[in-house]
């Protein structure tokens, strides 16, 4: 969302959101005068809050009430006005290192322990998926010309499953106007080259290789082969939803946002009976993010596609084995949460689990 705010508007929006996060009460100009050193009059604050309301960043739940942040207001706050808490991030890392024992515990017990620590520190529902255990490896790859201008990419795994994709012939082969026999020969050379470099690698790993390291001899093929193989291996992987460790429900449901029984029931149903939908949401970034440093994704209110949590904020990130995403960690709470702390908790936990799994 592109909204240009003046420094004064940023200060008042930030103060309004921080006050609302702390009190869960609509915020008026007097509360900002008493609680923040803004250096401006109450009338000026009211005028700025009115402008922020017209921009859709604040709204009044009742005509006579103060104002509270909208989802768009929280989005500006998260993207432009805050910095995740480095202090809390270090506390999370220290707590995980001191209280988890990788040498003595089972994997499930370790992730349950991590989830409980994060729930305690964040005050949110914590969600950690069990890692993906896909072990299918590339046994053979073949590029075959099937008709003029077309070829087929065939991948065979170590369990003898076969996956294929028909595609256009790529440059420079399709630009040479070569005879079919010449094209067949060139495709065989590329196939042999790829097999020598990729055989024995897991299909999951193929989607996250550093393709710039392929020999300069085949530099002109690199981008095409990368996009084709990534798409094919993502199809072949067909990730299976793993169990999600859930902790911290009791504490979060005490928040005033969850006072309606029906809302609580729909959230509980999602967490207990419809985890596959939640899994797809929090693991979505693991399929598209290919850097070695996991990013933190913040979905606020109506940005969440799942109806039961459209009044919540979901903050998630991936943890990795090496450069390959294998699972996700996240926190779920009301949109009125301490974003600086929650983002720091998720980032620190993802980095810790990535280091531990690697």
Which pLDDT score, from 0 to 100, does residue 223 have? 60
Which pLDDT score, from 0 to 100, does residue 178 have? 61
C-alpha pair distances (Å), 133 with each of 202, 204, 343: 11, 10, 27
- The candidate with the shortest Cα–Cα distance to 118, out of 324, 322, 317, is 317
Beta strands in 194-253 (DSSP E): 244-247
In residues, how long is the chain?
358
d(CA 282, CA 81): 25
Residues 272 and 229 in one domain: no
Residues 115 and 146 in one domain: no
Residues 70 and 168 in one domain: no
Residues 246 and 349 in one domain: yes
Strand, helix or coil for residue 229: helix
Residues 160 and 204 in one domain: yes
**107: in domain:** yes
Residues 34 and 168 in one domain: no
Q: How many Cβ atoms from other residues are within 10 Å of residue 98's Cβ?
A: 9
Residues 6+ apart with CB under 8 A from 242: 129, 130, 131, 132, 133, 279, 327
d(CA 249, CA 211): 43
Residues 266 and 318 in one domain: yes
pLDDT in tens, the chain (358 residues): 567 899 999 999 999 999 999 999 999 999 999 999 888 999 999 999 999 999 999 999 887 778 999 999 999 999 999 999 889 899 999 999 898 887 777 888 889 999 999 999 999 999 999 887 666 788 898 989 888 788 888 888 876 778 888 888 765 555 555 677 878 888 888 888 888 878 888 776 776 666 666 555 455 555 656 666 666 555 555 566 788 999 999 888 888 888 888 888 899 999 988 888 898 888 865 554 445 456 899 999 999 999 999 999 999 999 988 777 888 999 999 999 999 999 999 999 999 998 888 7
Tell me the residue range of the domain where 57 lies. Answer: 7-81
- 45 phi and psi, to 5 degrees? -60, -45
């Amino acid at each position: 969302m592109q909204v240009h705010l003046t420094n004064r508007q940023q200060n008042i929006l930030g103060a309004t959101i921080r006050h609302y996060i702390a009190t869960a009460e609509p915020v008026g100009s007097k509360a900002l005068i008493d609680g923040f050193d803004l250096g401006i009059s109450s009338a000026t604050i009211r005028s700025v809050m009115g402008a922020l309301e017209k921009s859709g960043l604040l709204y009044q739940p009742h005509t006579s009430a103060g104002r509270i942040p909208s989802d768009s207001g929280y989005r500006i706050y998260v993207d432009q006005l805050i910095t995740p808490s480095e202090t809390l991030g270090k506390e999370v890392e220290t707590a995980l290192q001191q209280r988890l024992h990788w040498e003595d515990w089972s994997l499930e017990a370790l992730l349950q322990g991590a989830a409980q620590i994060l729930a305690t520190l964040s005050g949110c529902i914590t969600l950690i998926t069990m890692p993906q255990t896909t072990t299918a490896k590339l046994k053979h790859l073949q590029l075959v010309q099937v008709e003029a201008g077309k070829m087929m990419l065939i991948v065979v795994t170590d369990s003898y499953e076969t996956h294929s994709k028909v595609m256009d012939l790529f440059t420079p082969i399709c630009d040479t106007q070569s005879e079919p026999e010449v094209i067949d020969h060139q495709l065989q050379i590329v196939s042999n080259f790829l097999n020598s470099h990729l055989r024995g690698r897991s299909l999951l790993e193929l989607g996250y290789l550093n393709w710039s390291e392929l020999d300069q001899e085949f530099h002109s093929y690199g981008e095409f082969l990368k996009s084709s193989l990534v798409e094919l291996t993502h199809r072949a992987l067909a990730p299976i939803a793993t169990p999600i460790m859930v902790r911290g429900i009791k504490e979060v449901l005490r928040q005033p946002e969850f006072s309606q029984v029906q809302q609580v029931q729909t959230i509980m149903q999602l967490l207990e009976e419809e985890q596959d939908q939640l899994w797809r949401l929090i693991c979505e970034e693991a399929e598209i993010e290919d850097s070695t440093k996991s990013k933190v994704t913040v979905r606020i209110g109506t940005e969440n596609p799942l109806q039961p949590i459209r009044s919540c904020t979901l903050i998630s990130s991936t943890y990795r084995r090496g450069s390959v995403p294998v699972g996700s960690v996240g926190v779920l709470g009301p949109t009125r949460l301490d974003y600086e702390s929650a983002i720091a908790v998720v980032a620190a936990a993802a980095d810790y689990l990535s280091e531990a799994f690697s």
